[in-house]
Structure 1
Amino acid sequence: MNGSVENELSYANLFNLDFLNRQVIQQRVPLPWFYAEVEVRRSGEMAREMLFLTSYDALRTILATQNKSLTINTIFYVTPGYVNNSNEWKMESLTEILEFQENNGVITPYLKITEDKWYAGLEVGEGSTPVEARPVFTPRIR
C-alpha cells in the first residue's frame, strides 16, 4: 500500500463518520471541547475540514497524526461560562498550546488565547505560563 493511501486510512480510522448523518449532536454535560480546521490531501486534492474534538487526548492524537496528508491550521477552544468566567459559551482561537510535565509524569496542557491569558484544565489563568512548558502547536493561519 502506498504512503498516501495508508495516511488516508489512518486518518479515516480516527473518526466515526456516521455523525455526518445526524442533524443534532447532544452534549449532556457542558464541558469544553476543541474545534480544529484541518487541511486534508486526498489523491492530489486538498480539502479543508472541521473537526469537533471532545478532549485534549483526542486533540493530541490528531496533532501526532499530522503529515503531508493532514495538517492542522487553527484550533479553537470552546468553553462553557463556568470555565471562561462568563455567563455564556465562548469560542476562542488558540495562539499556542504548551505542555508541562509534572514530576509524577502527568502532562498539563496550557492553551494560550493571548500572551497573558491561558487555560489549564478547567481553570483560566493570566500572566506567563511555566517556563519549562514545551510548545506543541502554533496555528498556521490566523
Structure 2
Amino acid sequence: MTEDTAAPPAGFAAVRDAVTVRMPAASAYLSVLRTATAGLAARLDFTLDDIEDLRIGVDEACAMLLAQALPGTDLTAEFELTDTGMRISVSVLSADGRLPERDTFAWTVLSALAGDVDAFADADDRVTIVLHKHRAMPGSV
C-alpha cells in the first residue's frame, strides 16, 4: 500500500491551523479570550514571557476596540498558528470605522508586547487590530 501525499481533491481546502472565537463585545468575556491566547501560544512553544505578553496584548487590543463597539454586537478573534509564530486578528463592528490612534501610549505598549501590529477598517465599519508575534527559533538569541 502506498501513502498518498497528493494535494487535496478539487473543492477541498487544505487544513489550516486556525481558531476563531466569537463572543459578545463586552469586557466581561475577555478572560475567555486571554485563556485561549495563552493556550494557543503554549501549543506553539512560546516562552512564558511571550505568552504573558500576548495575553496582555490581546487584552489591550480588545480594550481599544470595545470602546467603540456597537452595543449588542460581537467581538471576533481569529488565531492563525504558523511555524514561525501566531497571527491574531481582533475585530468589532463600530459606528464609524475609526481606527485606533497609533501615536498613543496604548499603541506603543501594544506594539512592544505583540511585535508587528496593524489596524484597518472595512467598508461595513468593522475595525480590526492584527497582532503578529514571532516565536524565537531554537538556537537564536
TM-score range, shorter chain: under 0.3
* Greater relative contact order, per chain length (Cα 8 Å cut-off, separation 6+): 2
TM-score, normalised relative to structure 2: 0.26
Of Structure 1 and Structure 2, which has the larger fraction of its residues in strand? 1
TM-score, normalised relative to structure 1: 0.25
